[in-house]
Structure 1
Amino acid sequence: MTGTPDNAQKEQKNRRELRTVVASSIIGTTVEWYDFFLYGTAAGTVFNTLYFPSDDPLIGTLLSFTTFALGFVARPIGGLIFGHIGDRVGRKKTLVATMLIMGVATCAIGLVPTYASIGVAAPIILVLLRLAQGVAIGGEWGGAVLMSVEYAPRGKRGLYGSFPQVGLALGLTLGTGVFAGLNAAMSSTAFLAWGWRIAFGLSAILVLVGMFIRLKVIETPAFRKMEEHKAKATVPVVELARNPLSRRHVLLGMGSRLSEGVAFNTWAVFAISYGTGTLGMQRQPLLLGVMAAALVMLAFIPVFGRASDRFGRRRVFTAGAVLTGVVSFPALAMLHTGHPLVTGIGIVVVLGVCYPMMYGPQAALYSELFPTPVRCTGISFVYQFSGIFASGLTPLFLSYLVGQAGGGYGLVLAYLFVATAISAVCTLAIRRRDLFTEDVDAGHEQLRNARNATAA
């Protein structure tokens, strides 16, 4: 009987740690995505006018979305830097650093003078701060995901891996909600003059809350066990490149993500600019539609994360890619009606219900592609490098296609179809037998085999 109280105390301690990890992952990623998406929302509604003025509204929008894309170009750099730190030093240390970088950059964006005030220096400063945001989010995602996945109870990686993904929906809800609230509370003149800056200044409060919780988190069990086994990779990115299976998983992972990144940035970013600029809709209904979709997404991300534990991650992810692509066809037609309610329903269905079928299982799916010693580098590289094409360039490229089509959306539909097909094929090509579910010893063995093969 003497062991019972000790076991109970240990179990209680484990539960407290797990709750802290989950809270840290959700709140931390919420702050990071809030900051990152504020720029995306502002790019199509504010920055194109204040920082990239042009006689042709389309040119101003294209320039603004170019700086939006630069944030995604910087993300692989952050992914490699902080992925290396995460694999060599620990997952936790990456999360504290990335949150500080993101918070400072976002607050600074809210203070940058306009083009009318300081000329060309304004967009240059904006670009530099956007690059800092990209580096921060590039390191954030991998560390936050692994904190949850590597703490997850057996058989629940999909569910726990979906918790940091919820931060995307919360960040999007807060970002669009704050913009919509400020837009409704003041005149358009006041909003463009100074109101939008409030949204960026609020980041300071969110960062303080996130830092308070993150400093309480301890390192993941998988990383601690890897240290005990002395199984750390000397240079994770080199180990990743040496191993044929890892190289295969990097390519398939990036291909699978194409539809997810394209879908999100089509409906959360491009749709707002397309609706206001090309279709002449009011900004407010579109912002409210995206915010409503984000709220619905909050419920469905963990639902589909848990579904991946029961039915398999590849199946759920592939079904999500196909369904999102198919539903985008009527959703774009609904957007073209210009009716606020009809438009909102289309956005909610495709972004709030269909898209989470991919985003819910994604963290666990990509985590199982790589062994522990190179996992942070591997998933960061897959997610962030693919983000350049799948996410960052999507609003810019779709805006160009709309211009080529004279305002129509036929070419947009074609692009979405191609992205869906590529993602479905790549996801199904991932073999179950190659996944790392019992990973520490297997990861150590894999690295040893790779080194022996290279030496031979």
Structure 2
Amino acid sequence: MHNAAPHAKVAPSEIAVGVVIGRASEYFDFFVYGIASVLIFPTVFFPFVDRLQGTLYAFVIFSFAFIARPFGTALFMTIQRHWGRGTKLTASLFLLGTATVSIAFLPGYNTLGETAIVLLALLRIIQGIALGGTWDGLPSLLALNAPKGKRSRFAMIGQLGAPVGFMLAASLFLYLNHSLSREDFLGWAWRYPFYVAFAINVVALFARLRLVLTQEYTVALEESELEPISTRQMLGSQGYNIFLGAFAALASYALFHLVTIFPLSWISLNASQAVNEVLTIQLYGACLAVLGTIASGWIADRVGKRNTVGTLAVLIGIFALFSPILMNGSAIMQDLFILIGFTLLGLSYGQAAGTVTANFERRFRYTGAALTSDFAWLFGAAFAPLVALGLSVEFGLSAVSIYLLSGAVCTLVALRINKSLEAGD
């Protein structure tokens, strides 16, 4: 009888470091593009229309990455099955870094005309495809190896990448916008964050490869049955769980861009505050989101993940009712919208991932978690800046309330359906 070779136990703390570095690098890319869509792209790529229309056009292109992301997941899961995790992760992060740094070299509309816009859209699609391949299974492995009674605390660690990535991106844009003239900022300095994104991706790549290519982690992934099941097989067998999980997280994902990208666009277009003031408040908000994300793990371990996500959905719905009053008010009220929104985002997003992951059969969990995240981003966040800004200009800020409320309702309905399915089992 063949005995399996002994191997070192997986240390959750080591996985946590890899998860945070990996997620923070992805979100940094994500927010660099999002902030540039408000501050840079309307002037550089859409100078032939007014600033509002240019921002809306930029938000359309912003959504392309989220549309492409599930296709990227399918592509790179195939690559992993044939050539392994290391090849998949290297190829996806190289593609992501190349697409991101290419934006830094992209001439504007005044130089290339419409070709510049087409190239920007193409690079954004490539970013989305590449992001689909960055799933390394470490968050799932971390949750499965968490100490008993602390799974939610460990599950929230990967979610810390969002506020950390935002803080890095917003700080860099704040520094450049504060230190340079408007001409220099729009002329060349805006390109610098895209260079930095490439460098961060390289660091993140080596940090993650150091984990996923070791024998200990290979064995741990295999023992946990974290396999790259084909997307077709996944959708055919567990598709209902993917969409149920995506909608269960919708309140959090809908809120995501409504406290990060949307306030920056709305306030700067209405000139009710200086851009630097908004970015500064958002940095404070991101700190609150970090604390909220950490707190969410302790709360969920005590009252349960479903109760935490459901309660936060209700609170997000209440917050939605007051959003028009806050955003239409004074600078202090707008700041309150940002700070309260970031706090709710941390508390909800901290537990949004994997809300119904336990529903997946074990061998489907790896691909299922990736696709659930992809569709949650697509349904909840991809069009949020475009819809919120476009409808708010046309019909007033009540559109933001409706958008957030719809996300909260979807979350509560999905959680209810999930509970019924579990009761039925």
Q: Identify which of 337, 341, 351 aligns with 1:350.
A: 341
Q: For structure 1, which runs of at least 5 residues remain unmatched after alignment?
A: 1-8, 436-456
| Paired residue secondary structure (1:52) | coil
Are 1:198 and 2:192 matched, yes or no?
yes
Structure 1 residues 93 and 259, CA gap change in structure 2 (3 angstroms): farther
Deviation at 1:94, TM superposition (A): 4.1
Per-residue deviation, residues 208-235 of structure 1 (Å, max 9, x unmatched)? 32123112104365532256xxx968x5
What are the residue-to-residue correspondences of 1:251-266 with 2, within 5 Å?
Answer: 251-266=243-258
> Which residue in 2 is equivalent to 1:306?
298
Are 1:388 and 2:378 matched, yes or no?
yes
Q: Identify which of 375, 394, 399 aligns with 1:404.
A: 394
Deviation at 1:265, TM superposition (A): 0.9
Structure 1 residues 169 and 330, CA gap change in structure 2 (3 angstroms): same
Indicate conservation of the 8 Å contact 2:252/2:352, yes or no: no
Are 1:33 and 2:27 matched, yes or no?
yes
CA distance in 2, matches of 1:54, 1:322: 43
Deviation at 1:79, TM superposition (A): 2.3
> Which residue in 2 is equivalent to 1:139?
133
Are 1:329 and 2:353 matched, yes or no?
no
CA distance in 1, matches of 2:153, 2:198: 30
Q: Identify which of 209, 221, 224 aligns with 1:223.
A: 221
Deviation at 1:266, TM superposition (A): 1.1
CA distance in 2, matches of 1:232, 1:198: 38
> Which residue in 2 is equivalent to 1:53?
47
Deviation at 1:57, TM superposition (A): 2.3
Deviation at 1:86, TM superposition (A): 5.9
> Which residue in 2 is equivalent to 1:419?
407
**Deviation larger for 129-138 or 150-159:** 150-159
| Paired residue secondary structure (1:107) | helix
CA distance in 1, matches of 2:341, 2:109: 36
What are the residue-to-residue correspondences of 1:372-383 with 2, within 5 Å?
Answer: 372-383=362-373
Give the aligned residue type for 2:334.
T
Instruction: Provide TM-score, normalisation by structure 2.
Output: 0.89
Aligned residues: 415
> Which residue in 2 is equivalent to 1:250?
242
Are 1:76 and 2:74 matched, yes or no?
no
CA distance in 1, matches of 2:106, 2:165: 22
| Paired residue secondary structure (1:178) | helix
Give the aligned residue type for 1:428.
R
Q: Identify which of 270, 276, 282 aligns with 1:284.
A: 276
Q: For structure 2, which runs of at least 5 residues remain unmatched after alignment?
A: 1-5
Per-residue deviation, residues 419-454 of structure 1 (Å, max 9, x unmatched)? 21111111232138849xxxxxxxxxxxxxxxxxxx
Deviation at 1:371, TM superposition (A): 2.4
Are 1:187 and 2:181 matched, yes or no?
yes
| Paired residue secondary structure (2:46) | coil
Structure 1 residues 141 and 418, CA gap change in structure 2 (3 angstroms): same
Give the aligned residue type for 2:284.
A
Structure 1 residues 158 and 226, CA gap change in structure 2 (3 angstroms): closer
CA distance in 2, matches of 1:95, 1:366: 26
CA distance in 2, matches of 1:256, 1:137: 22
CA distance in 2, matches of 1:288, 1:390: 26
**Deviation larger for 91-100 or 290-299:** 91-100
**Deviation larger for 183-192 or 99-108:** 99-108
Indicate conservation of the 8 Å contact 1:96/1:214, yes or no: no
Indicate conservation of the 8 Å contact 2:38/2:261, yes or no: yes
Deviation at 1:145, TM superposition (A): 2.4
Deviation at 1:313, TM superposition (A): 1.0
Give the aligned residue type for 2:401.
L
CA distance in 1, matches of 2:121, 2:52: 19
> Which residue in 2 is equivalent to 1:212?
206
> Which residue in 1 is equivalent to 2:3?
none
Per-residue deviation, residues 136-155 of structure 1 (Å, max 9, x unmatched)? 22232563422422332333
CA distance in 2, matches of 1:144, 1:366: 18
**Deviation larger for 287-296 or 149-158:** 149-158
Are 1:318 and 2:280 matched, yes or no?
no
Per-residue deviation, residues 262-289 of structure 1 (Å, max 9, x unmatched)? 1111111111111111354321121122
Give the aligned residue type for 1:421.
V
CA distance in 1, matches of 2:371, 2:73: 6
**Deviation larger for 267-276 or 137-146:** 137-146
> Which residue in 1 is equivalent to 2:142?
148
Give the aligned residue type for 1:202.
V
Indicate conservation of the 8 Å contact 1:150/1:220, yes or no: no
Structure 1 residues 73 and 238, CA gap change in structure 2 (3 angstroms): closer
Instruction: Provide TM-score, normalisation by structure 1.
Output: 0.83
**Deviation larger for 184-193 or 205-214:** 205-214
Give the aligned residue type for 1:346.
F
Give the aligned residue type for 1:224.
E
> Which residue in 2 is equivalent to 1:443?
none
Deviation at 1:403, TM superposition (A): 2.6
| Paired residue secondary structure (1:24) | helix
CA distance in 2, matches of 1:89, 1:431: 39
| Paired residue secondary structure (2:47) | coil
Give the aligned residue type for 1:289.
I
| Paired residue secondary structure (2:188) | helix
**Percent identity over the alignment?**
27
Structure 1 residues 142 and 329, CA gap change in structure 2 (3 angstroms): farther
CA distance in 2, matches of 1:321, 1:193: 42
| Paired residue secondary structure (2:107) | coil
Indicate conservation of the 8 Å contact 2:248/2:355, yes or no: no
> Which residue in 2 is equivalent to 1:369?
359
Give the aligned residue type for 2:243.
L
| Paired residue secondary structure (1:430) | helix
CA distance in 2, matches of 1:163, 1:432: 29
